[in-house]
Chains A and B, each alone.
Chain A
Amino acid sequence: MKAMLALCLVLFLIPAAMMGGQPVDTRAFVQLPVKNDPTIAFRLWFKVGSQNDPKGKEGLASLTGQMLADASTTHNTYAQVIDRLYPLAAGYTASVSTEMTIISGRVHKDNLAAYYPLLMDAVLAPAFLQEDLDRIKSQALNNLETTLRYASDEELGKAVLYNEVYAGTPYGHIVAGTVEGVKSITLDDVKAFYKTHYTRENVVPGIGGGFDQELIDRLARDLSALPAGSPAAVPVAEPRTIEGFRVTIVDKDAPATAISMGFPMNVLRGSREWYALAIANSWLGEHRNASSHLYQVIREERGLNYGDYSYIEHFPRGGFAQMPPQNAARRKQIFEIWIRPVPREAGYFALRAALREFNHLVEHGLSESEFALTRSFLRNYVLHYAPTTMQRLGYALDDRFYGINGSHLETFRKMMGEITRDEVNASIRKHWQFGNMHIAVITRNGAGFRDALVAGTPSPITYKTAKPESVLNVDKQIEVFPVPVKRENVKVVPVGEVLQR
């Protein structure tokens, strides 16, 4: 670590122009050798993401990533690229998040010689052709205008929440951008963005599996052909304080009601408090797991939907993933509760049910038995977060992002033996609060939902089938649980306008 700090200082002192042609320092590589692995995993991290999108060009980072991974190079047309990758059973993709872009690919050792030059071309020699941009832009627009707005209400709810919680900051738009932003992007925008951000000072090469030193040296030499330059750092996002409950209702002809809610959070993985909150969060809402308390209350006992979860880190594409993502790391995080679509008549009730449980947790903390069970769960469950070399390499890059000395996943397991219940409950009191939160709702009759919220109208629920007395008794408390919302804090937006600009 000390050696690395010294290296950073030296690099900092040498003007960028003097470094032209120098191989990228292999000490900056993230390496994850796996002796018997017949494959090699590449994850080239460029320190750029949607936070770097210029104003009015929201979606540029995402499009630029795709213009590397899904388009022509100066040596091969896109069709030729596909033809050459095809018999290798290998490919590469660009994954863009708020702060990171990863060009990743995996290949069997037998095919490395043919694969490697294609991967390097993608990064070093993009052709940036208009016809490729037309194709990629058209897909990006279709994703915003039809898929997100119409085909997945739960993903739309999350997108609206993310945009609102960090509105006015570089985090204030989803990676896919906005309709007007994407429409305005030109080939020159992409070229300029590439030149600024895809530099040799801005890349951290990650490599895993059955590679050797020769490949490392070759990669270091080849990446030195990237343009020089250190782009200006984006200031840390400072979201405005949320006062009270702020609500955005997307009005659409939805068959059910989807709800996401949350607030900004300052605790990052690597800190002891983060692991304490991870225990509280896992108990409240471990993603896609029946151990989630919200899942037990809303789905298991009441049968209102397919699942209910909570998060202490940004978790894009939650509806499609079983485990947390890699390389979606951020310097500012978000606490989030996700209620999968519920019948419209149960929308307000489900919102109250989730908030009531959250409030109870904030006020009372975890009991000893809840704490002990969740700690035991997480100790083994984190083993499933990264079973493959590619995933572990992703975590290793995230460790670099967060400045974690060692491994987050190992620290996670170790912390499960150290953290006390008092620490968990102290962290809850310090970092979570009930009354100030943004709520995103996707529903039919948005105005009606708003009026009920503002009036605090009771939301009794009826079931088609028998429920135990214990559940019905709690329901009486849920249906009047106070969620004070002021009319001026509720926006109702037609679906055609959401994600527009």
Chain B
Amino acid sequence: MKRIVGYCLILLLLTGSVAMANSFFPYAYTKEVLPNGLTIFVIPMESPGLVAYYSIVRTGSRDEYEPGKSGFAHFFEHMMFRGTEKYPGPVYDSLMTDIGADANAYTTDDYTAYHLNFAKDDLEKVIELESDRFQNLSYAERDFQTEAGAVYGEYRKSITSPFALLNEKMQDVAYDMHTYKHTTIGFEADIKKMPEGYAYSKSFYQRYYRPENVVLVIAGDIAVQGTLALVRTYYGGWTKGYVPPTINAEPPQTGERSAGVTYPGRTLPVLDIAYKGDRFNPDNRTYVAALLLGDLAFGETSELYKKLYIQEQKVDILDASIPVKRDTPLFEIVARVKKEADLDAVREAVYATLLQYQTTLVNARRLEDLKRRQRYQFLMNLDTPDRVAGGLARFVAITGGIEIVEKLYAAIDAVTLEDIRTAATRYFVPEGRTVVVLKGSLQ
């Protein structure tokens, strides 16, 4: 440990980059922030000649605050593959093909991630190509319009899922002011109009694809200093210019809401019960406790799961989601119910469970089991460069770094039985609740 600290100081003095040692995250890593604000994390790890390269843009569907622009962050992700003047789309594709890279991207509510896995010998080529498209993206209006068709295709293939429809409804009903009101893929009406948004897309790029808003996470079979030197060379000239979006805070909810949605086809009914929660913050003890509460109360070892899923077999899905979000999230409990007649009973059972957690302390052994499970799950999922970089992406997007992981797991370790009860009491209240029930049009 001392040796590592000493090494850190030397590195800091020499290069401005900082090597980090941890107690929980199993890999030592180095962080550097370029003068233009671009943040880089380099994480060397044992992997057979492979490198994972994540460019995380801290912009997602949350940032789509202008009316009619829902789904644009995701659409723009597609445009990032349309090339630059130096490397037009087909040339970019052909170079990626030539090196056999596994290259793709995804968009979420809070961020957009561009990720590649490739052989270590191709590191410089990848850094050159990635830095080029982040600084010099260039596409014709015609290509922009064609890509809108592919996005509509993605919507079409996804919307046949009842859960897509349910999420769309839930977000729309539960939020009034915040952009979480729409899903990441966006409203269909906005997707239809995407081909008209060429000029807007240029402005989107200019405002959000800026170094201060991007973090690189590079993991795998790499040398730290060589990698950083390449990043400095290729990204150093990227100019600042991030313009933060104007996002309305969601006002506190003051009354219960409910809605129904009809799925065109056959499905088991789905009950979605959501409560307004708190944004991600490991310093918020009650929020951290809620992360555990979801699993304790509704996970597979919970009493309710055993009753409804295993014994009575009234539901074939019961799950809780306590997400890690930049702004006010929904803490959701979802149950797929086998018989429509049981919907009310299942809903009441969920409420009764929450009441029980508000009034009674959870079994200490179960809490310890869950903490242990969380630690091992985290560790076991860090076995490839892609999983390391990908697993950190959301934390990077929300906080700008990966240091928070240490803090989060320390906070999880410190959660007490009383904290769990406080979380149940603070968040799971009727006035912050929205209930959506989905049923099929065919029986």
Contact = CB atoms under 8 A, between A and B. Distances in A.
Given A142-B316, A150-B160, A152-B161, A304 B373 contact: no
Given A82-B300, A253-B265, A305-B150, A89 B372 contact: yes
Contacts of B122: 380
Contact of A378 (B100, B265, B383): B100
Contacts of B346: none
B377 interface: yes
Interface string B284-315: 00000000000000001100001001110100
B81 A383 contact: no
Which among B147, B157, B264, B370 has the highest number of chain A CB atoms within 10 Å? B157
Interface stretch (B59-67, B89-97, B199-207, B428-436): B89-97
Contact of A468 (B50, B93, B142, B268): B142
B415 to A, nearest CB: 15
A39 interface: yes
A380 B267 CA distance: 43
A256 B384 contact: no
A153 B160 contact: yes
B99 interface: yes
A111 B150 CA distance: 46
A302 B149 contact: yes
Contact-residue bracket for chain B = 35 or more
B384 A380 contact: no
A373 B46 contact: no
B269 to A, nearest CB: 11
Given A78-B310, A303-B146, A373-B97, A343 B380 contact: no
A151 interface: yes
A330 interface: no
Interface string B117-134: 111001000000000000
B21 interface: no
A79 B310 contact: yes
B386 A387 contact: yes
B153 interface: yes
A431 interface: no
Contacts of A108: 376, 379-380
B161 A151 contact: yes
Interface string A14-58: 000000000000000000000011110000000000000000000
Contact of A151 (B141, B153, B267): B267
A299 B153 contact: yes
Nearest to B116: A384
B148 interface: yes
B49 interface: yes
Contact-residue bracket for chain A = 35 or more
Contacts of A36: 46
A382 B48 CA distance: 13
B44 interface: no
A341 interface: yes
B384 A303 contact: no
A150 B265 contact: yes
A377 interface: yes
Contacts, number: 195
Contact of B316 (A89, A138, A322): A138
Given A151-B162, A341-B153, A303 B265 contact: no
A126 to B, nearest CB: 16
Nearest to B26: A38
Contacts of B370: 86-87
Interface in A136-154: 138-139, 142, 145-146, 149-154
Interface string B316-338: 10000000000000000000001
Interface stretch (A183-191, A359-367, A459-467): A459-467
B157 A154 contact: yes
B266 interface: yes
Given A134-B313, A151-B161, A383-B49, A88 B376 contact: yes
A255 B97 contact: no
Contacts of A139: 316
A342 to B, nearest CB: 7
Contacts of A497: none
A383 B120 CA distance: 12
A36 B122 CA distance: 26
10 contacts: A79-B306, A134-B313, A150-B263, A151-B160, A380-B101, A387-B47, A387-B384, A389-B383, A463-B149, A467-B146
Interface of A: 36-39, 78-79, 82-83, 86-90, 106, 108, 110-111, 131, 134-135, 138-139, 142, 145-146, 149-154, 252-256, 258, 288, 290-291, 296, 299-307, 319, 322-323, 340-343, 373-374, 376-384, 387-389, 463-468
Given A150-B160, A376-B98, A464-B195, 4 more contacts: A39-B380, A150-B266, A305-B149, A466-B142
**Among all A-B residue pairs, the 7 with the closest Cβ atoms:** A303-B149, A380-B100, A465-B145, A89-B376, A150-B265, A305-B153, A87-B369
